[in-house]
Structure 1
């Protein structure tokens, strides 16, 4: 109704106004876009996209796997997961006879042994007083001891004068006299069998550094090779690595180790080991004690306490004193003190390699009236064997 009433001039004015509005709006949009182009573009971290042979329609970075929607996969529990089976392979110790043969061969190969030195002297063309003095010196240097040396020299002089001085005769006479000194009549059996429904208990004692813990581990191997079940008692709580060392020996052959806290009461651990042995119906319980100097009265008294505490539950069948054969007369002094504190039933000589110190076998047995039951040679796990007097002497003279 209004359009017909508007004049031509009014229509022109309205058209011009609409045109102006359109021009102004377009100009603002252009300026805004131009300003946006002039501003520096925001820097974005450059992300290296993995190489791919696929062609993509966009150059934008692809979404990584971490941003993918979770897959509809059920979660596996520990029970559902198949774990690899762990198997412990136990070592099979060498038989007692095999060890004896090997130890004898090692003794025979040793140079400068007691037997070789004596044979060289006895094989001289003329055995005068000087020769006999050299023989006495050789025996005393080999730690045979003064009284056994005098006895042996007297017997040798008498027999050599009566029976002749040839090399073959000299060797046979020397062999017989050395065997007599080592005394094959002594009971060297090891009490390592159950009795009265209880396991045999073996207590290992000695000074520092004689190889006590190693000897316990080796003895466990010997007994397990004889199809006996063994429990080890780590009553050496003063040396940090002693319990770990003993447990490693046990794990290698399948012997259980009873241990306690470092610095704990040795008697308590020994008691627990024997108790475990009784409950498990083991054949033997081997108790390792801390090395102690024979001059330390308090430590020596503690050793007696360990034995008394064990005896509240079971009888101690063996007390084995470990002696380093290379210590000579010092080892003999140690043996005397230990024998006064605790009832030693047998000796273990370690590092007995057939050298000039082999005479300690004779001296320590004479001093204590206690037999050498085991000997150790070398560093191998099976380098421990029963002591056989005749085989020992034969090895020295081979």
Structure 2
């Protein structure tokens, strides 16, 4: 018997014992019994026999995560605007036609439109003429020959960024115009270095933009690395000096210094960049150990002008090309490589951390021409 039932019954017995001789009371007791039973019954039933709804078993459906695309697939997809234009243009010219002066001129125009640059386009067409002139040639063959020519131009500049572990901190100065993706690139590089087990520090040297400082602070928090900051409008050179001192105190392996985005035609801003370098060298005469120029592929031929002027003001040691996924001008990287012979360390095709990768000449040529010579 349930405790609730015993409690109710005991109460009724006690009531009868005390008042059982009175007829009216007996009637009252019966009434009370009925009331108690009526009230208690649903409660008792609810406690004694709870209603359990049987839920039919359904096997758990395993949700498979979408397989991660390889870097080459992401690169090819990122360069789709560039390679689609290039492939369709070549296909429109070479359909059962010989490689002659007319087709070479048309091909040269297509390469220039893809922002490979006039000099590069001429060089590529001359190379094709040496091997295949006056031969009937298919679009696929042209793309393969183009792939070979582009690879030969890019291979000498496809160099990994090597960090000298004997130098602490290894100072990397990041430069570039506003909007090139400089701050984001710094954050991605920091995460990569951190994942390799290196101690990294960031210096928010773009003191002209509060948003840039905040953005770098977010990347620092995400990567778990310290960020040296200063109030908006502070002297960027002084911040760089302070950051180097702190990096030494904390035994930092790599110090990445952001700088204000500046237009290459603003003389006073370019002069300030030179000042930052001079101040850095007061701390370390050999620094910066790497000066990277971040270029936005969507700017096309303007990126060539940027590389020219920045190289005159700062000893640029290498390039990072960003936003290749947002342009039909992916060939600009080939033009810059041919003109300046500067190492290309990284390329970016998106916002994700995985969308910034070390530059590989053959992979880039394969993706740009939609062929595979490997």
Q: Where in structure 2 are the equivalents of 1:279-290 lying within 5 Å?
A: 279-290=249-260
- Residue number among 133, 156, 161 corresponding to 1:185 in the alignment: 156
- Give the 3 Å change call, closer, same or farther, for CA 321–209 of structure 1 in structure 2: same
Tell me the distance in 2 between the aligned counterparts of 1:101 and 1:167: 22
SS state at 1:367 partner: helix
Tell me the distance in 2 between the aligned counterparts of 1:119 and 1:286: 42
Paired residue for 2:208? 238
1:193-227 deviations in whole A, cap 9, x for unaligned?
A: 4324x121110001111111111111111212222
Post-superposition shift, 1:177? 1.1
Post-superposition shift, 1:379? 2.0
Post-superposition shift, 1:339? 0.6
- Residue number among 321, 326, 331 corresponding to 1:359 in the alignment: 331
Q: Where in structure 2 are the equivalents of 1:260-271 lying within 5 Å?
A: 260-271=230-241
2:321 is aligned with 1:349: yes
Post-superposition shift, 1:108? 6.2
Tell me the distance in 1 between the aligned counterparts of 2:336 and 2:152: 15
- Residue number among 172, 196, 207 corresponding to 2:144 in the alignment: 172
Post-superposition shift, 1:159? 1.5
SS state at 2:110 partner: helix
2:96 is aligned with 1:116: no
Scaled by the length of structure 2, what TM-score is found? Answer: 0.74
Tell me the distance in 1 between the aligned counterparts of 2:198 and 2:311: 29
Paired residue for 2:11? none
Tell me the distance in 1 between the aligned counterparts of 2:130 and 2:161: 37
Is the Cα–Cα contact under 8 Å of residues 97 and 136 in structure 2 kept in the other structure? no
Paired residue for 1:93? none
Paired residue for 1:337? 309
Q: Which runs of 5 or more structure 2 residues have no equivalent in the other structure?
A: 1-67
**CA RMSD across the alignment:** 2.3
Post-superposition shift, 1:152? 0.5
Post-superposition shift, 1:242? 1.1
Tell me the distance in 1 between the aligned counterparts of 2:156 and 2:280: 31
2:270 is aligned with 1:297: no
- Residue number among 147, 154, 157 corresponding to 2:119 in the alignment: 147
Scaled by the length of structure 1, what TM-score is found? Answer: 0.70
1:295-347 deviations in whole A, cap 9, x for unaligned?
A: 11111011011111112223211111111101111111111111110000111
Paired residue for 1:216? 186
- Residue number among 164, 174, 188 corresponding to 1:204 in the alignment: 174
Post-superposition shift, 1:192? 2.6
Is the Cα–Cα contact under 8 Å of residues 108 and 121 in structure 2 kept in the other structure? yes
Q: Which runs of 5 or more structure 1 residues have no equivalent in the other structure?
A: 1-96
Post-superposition shift, 1:172? 2.6
1:205-264 deviations in whole A, cap 9, x for unaligned?
A: 011111111111111112122221110000110012111110110101111100111100
Is the Cα–Cα contact under 8 Å of residues 72 and 363 in structure 2 kept in the other structure? no
Tell me the distance in 2 between the aligned counterparts of 1:279 and 1:181: 43
Tell me the distance in 2 between the aligned counterparts of 1:154 and 1:167: 17
Post-superposition shift, 1:115? 4.5
Structure index of larger Rg = 1
Worse-superposed segment, 240-249 or 358-367: 358-367
Tell me the distance in 1 between the aligned counterparts of 2:127 and 2:361: 19
Is the Cα–Cα contact under 8 Å of residues 100 and 386 in structure 1 kept in the other structure? no
Paired residue for 1:374? 346
2:100 is aligned with 1:137: no
- Give the 3 Å change call, closer, same or farther, for CA 108–294 of structure 1 in structure 2: closer
Tell me the distance in 2 between the aligned counterparts of 1:111 and 1:347: 20
1:72-116 deviations in whole A, cap 9, x for unaligned?
A: xxxxxxxxxxxxxxxxxxxxxxxxx98734533424655754642
Tell me the distance in 2 between the aligned counterparts of 1:235 and 1:108: 32
Worse-superposed segment, 306-315 or 147-156: 306-315
Tell me the distance in 2 between the aligned counterparts of 1:116 and 1:359: 13
Post-superposition shift, 1:117? 4.0
Tell me the distance in 1 between the aligned counterparts of 2:118 and 2:72: 32
Paired residue for 2:17? none
Worse-superposed segment, 250-259 or 164-173: 164-173
Tell me the distance in 1 between the aligned counterparts of 2:307 and 2:313: 10
